[in-house]
Structure 1
Amino acid sequence: MNWLLYALNQIFMMNKNLILLIALALASCSSEDSSKSGNDDFQFSYKIDTVMVDAGDHFFFLNEDLSLSDVSKDRKLLYNLNPKTFLLEIVNLDDLKLEKTVQLEKEGPDGIGLPYYGKIQVLENGNIGLFGQFKIHIVTEQGKLVKTIDLDQIKIQNNDQKEKEKIGWNSVLSDDGKLLASTLVNFDFKKPAKGIVVIDLETDSIKYIPMKLFEKLKQFEIIHQEGNAPGITTGEFPFLRFIDNNLIISSSAYNEVYHYNTSSDSLSHYSFKASLTDNEKIRNFPNEVHSSKEWTDAEKAKNEQVSFREFLKLPEQNIFWRLSTDKDRMIADSVVFKQVATFFDADFKMLKEQELENFHDFRNSFFKDGMLYSFINIEDELAFVRLKPNFD
């Protein structure tokens, strides 16, 4: 039932963020401290607009807030999966209209039916990875099954560990589909991952990269257990993303990033010092609760703290962009959050922090034509808030 707990957790966190308007992310090992930048030459301003997507007679699947969506590498198409009907919706982002829909097969030789999907990923050749808890199906845009990666069949046993570990639920493919990176989990899911693995899917070679990040994140788990009912676990999660075929690892709880260079097989760690937000979450809540009120209070205490988003790359400027939120003030019993954009150069030197006004950022944001697109549901219709940055 662990896949169900993780699925419920993701859905809970997504809805919680919507309610609070928090949506707005072994070879050598080195560590660097990138302190607060005083770069006054880096100037940033922006404009915001909102655009609607023409659906024609179709009704987009928006129940999961585009959490099962991804964009093509040329940023011309957006793919959105309805996990209930297995209908794939394809949006033309240049024309902002529905391009077509493709019905994926649940059963048969091209069948991709699974009880749960966590995300989808569009590869550079146009194929689409459908990430379930135990399998990854690779299909063409036409819905033909190319291959299935059975995660449960990949067994990991580290040289320094007697216990066996397996591929976790948090996985990502490189753009060319040749590498699979994933967290490691213990077979009973009770112990934190000791690191990540990068698997060459063509040669089956496995590179194990130990990291302390997951042990640190374990302290933020909240287990909701009432009677003999199955418990539900929530927590802070790591982000894994291949950018330029290098693996970028960060988390929602800490102001830091790990950069794994796949060519040199080296891991670098960068820590940052923010001036507009806190630098990490603290555990000011119980790890185990036994009532709905205790659950609500614990989640509230955790979610009122700083939260970091994924690192995104703005290709036109060759810089990294990351959004974060933190508690700003209280109005009666409601929390007002501030949104902060932080910029980093290609070597993860922190360039600037700036608070954003009147911007709604949501899950699966992406850059296109120099603008940041963020999903918004307007009366059950698909729309995007676009932030157009200007750098001087």
Structure 2
Amino acid sequence: MLALNAMVISSPEFKSLRAFIALYTLMWIFILGLLASIYYESEKEKMLAEHRLSMQLVNETHYINMFYHYIDSGDELPRSLAYRTAVFDDNKKALASYLKEEPRDFTRYISLDGDYIHFIVRVGTNDMKVKYLVYETEDNRLWWKAMLKNMLLYGTFLFLFITFIGFNLVKIFLRPMKEALDLLDNFIKDTTHELNTPVSVIVANIEGINLENLQDKEAKKIRRVDIAARTISNIYNDLTYLILHNDVVVKDEKIDLSRFVCERVDYFKVTMNQKKISFVKEITEDVFIFIDKNKLSRLIDNLISNAIKYNKINGEIRVELQEGYLKISDTGIGIPKDKIDMIFQRYQRANSVVGGFGIGLHIVAMICKDYHIDIEVDSQINQGTSISLRF
């Protein structure tokens, strides 16, 4: 079973936009991460180069003489006034040390190990026990703070630039889809306008015909025309609602849903009889709902119409109505699991065998959203579909 909160209705346009934004965002996160990493390494190497010059100067002008005196005399390792020092053997084992943290890599001349900077000088010949002289100083993190400040400044400008570029790319990306949807909307609007008068005339004249006075063959033809006219009328009502729903004045009122559902079922009985569909109802009396009557008609009509359209010959439609709950089930072809989440999207159909615009259930979802009605869909292939409304 798939439960759909009517407050969230996705669309192909939104899905495409979401996928594009996700890809665009991931790409720029990768690029920004790469730039930040390069900038960090550059600033770190710049800081280490500055420390290397000062440490090398101390080593060459002052401390190295004290160090060789220590080697010759065997006295305690002399302390440097500027840096902490240590000596290591060829196995990187400390022979004498004033360091707070030992270097991790003896192959580099200078390195940042945690909070400490180490400058390593290789000394002595093969016959000397001492192989490495190490200088240590604490990293004051000033370079780090300056780097973060610059990254924040440059990052802000870069973010604004990326957002500007992304906004324009989104407009370009969605333009073809928007133009196609606008074209389809305009076509539907023009078609709807042209359908109004002939449909009204056909329905009015058919309702005035007394089928009992006709031969069976003629009566059957009239019934077929009646079914076609009702189908066109239903499509017309859907298209009108879809196009003009924002301009129509909504008049919410207390409606007897029990009676209303029965009336709408009677309206579709001619169509159900054509497919030999039986109707089973479990309707609790005096169930009321506060809603606009036109919207309720679109809601119920589309659910019943779909149950008929996707049902089998000699199938069954079951309507269950209780307080706060309406369920319409059919014994039709069912909906694939991977398509249930798209049936409420505009111009989307779960089955291409049966014709239609793909707007009926989209209208259902729109109305449910307006009145905070939750929709639940339960469907099994070749067994049928149940759509439940909780209000």
Interval containing the TM-score (normalised by the shorter chain) = under 0.3
Q: Report which of the two has the higher share of helix.
A: 2
Query: What is the TM-score when the length of structure 1 is the normalising length?
Result: 0.24
Query: What is the TM-score when the length of structure 2 is the normalising length?
Result: 0.24
Higher RCO (CA-CA < 8 Å; seq separation 6+): 1
Q: Report which of the two has the higher share of strand.
A: 1
